[in-house]
Amino acid sequence: MGQGRGWEGAVLKLMRAKDYTLTVTDAEDVTPHYRRVRLTDGGLLAATGVHPTMWVRLWFTDGGKPHQRAFTLVDPDPAAGAFSLEFALHEGAASDWARAAKPGDTIEATVQGTGFEEPSPSPSHVLAVGDPASLPAINSLLDALGSAPATVWFEGDADGLPFRADPSRHEIRHVPRRDDGAHLVERVKAELPELLRLTPDPYVWIACDTRTTRALSTYVRKELGVTKDRAHALGYWRAD
């Protein structure tokens, strides 16, 4: 572990990350720009267990150099030793791999850094911000906290995507991507404060591109006063 993977691999090795080889068993296009790949887990789930929004790092080659990117597990099945991964397709090594993935293909995965701590008290309202890259994590979050109502600001094209929202409890607010995420930030700033005011035990969850996530996280914690234990933010991708 770390051999041939540059400084990222070396750091993960020092942090006692665990490596597994995943094998593709099936792949399907959910939409022309969203692909689901089913894999056997190489013993991963039996060794690590499963928790909501669990993710793994996949290793790709990009320009001859190692490149890792995190993906949320979809429908993990420890008994079968299998799960799916979903890819919002664009330019890049991960999308190129997913487009070509076929049964029998393998890819290396590393488990390090993933975790989930359910907020206590349980949320009276979940307030989530995401996009196609974080949709698997949004679905996992809604499954885990399914008894609570949720409002989700979803940036980008959502046509045909596999939302697991229950219309009786979950509201999806579709937001077009404009101005490199600035439009989403404006929408959330305009609409979130009133919902927080009406929510005794909120849980705010943000997973967009790195810059948007940082802006919203700072706003939620410093300007709205949401405490660290009631908010989670993680940049899922980096805008060019």
∠ Cα 88 192 230 (to 5°): 80
172-229 pLDDT per residue, tens: 999 999 998 999 999 999 999 999 999 999 999 999 999 999 999 999 999 999 999 9
129-144 pLDDT per residue, tens: 999 999 999 999 999 9
Radius of gyration of the chain (CA): 18
**Averaging pLDDT over each range in 34-43, 55-64, 87-96, which range is the top one?**
34-43
Query: Is the predicted pLDDT of residue 231 greater than 80, yes or no?
Result: yes
**Among 111, 139, 156, where does a domain finish?**
111
Q: Can you give the CATH number for the domain in which 135 is found? A: 3.40.50.80
Tokens of 194: 């009133």
163-198 exposure pattern, b = at least 16 Cβ within 10 A, e = fewer: beeeeeebebeebebeeebeebbebbeeebeeebee
Query: Is the predicted pLDDT of residue 162 greater than 90, yes or no?
Result: yes
Domain-embedded: residue 89: yes
Structural domain boundaries, residue 23? 6-111
**Among 82, 111, 140, where does a domain finish?**
111
68-87 pLDDT per residue, tens: 889 999 999 999 999 999 99
**Among 81, 111, 141, where does a domain finish?**
111
Residues 234 and 205: beta-carbon distance below 8 Å: no
Query: Is the predicted pLDDT of residue 239 greater than 80, yes or no?
Result: no
Domain-embedded: residue 145: yes
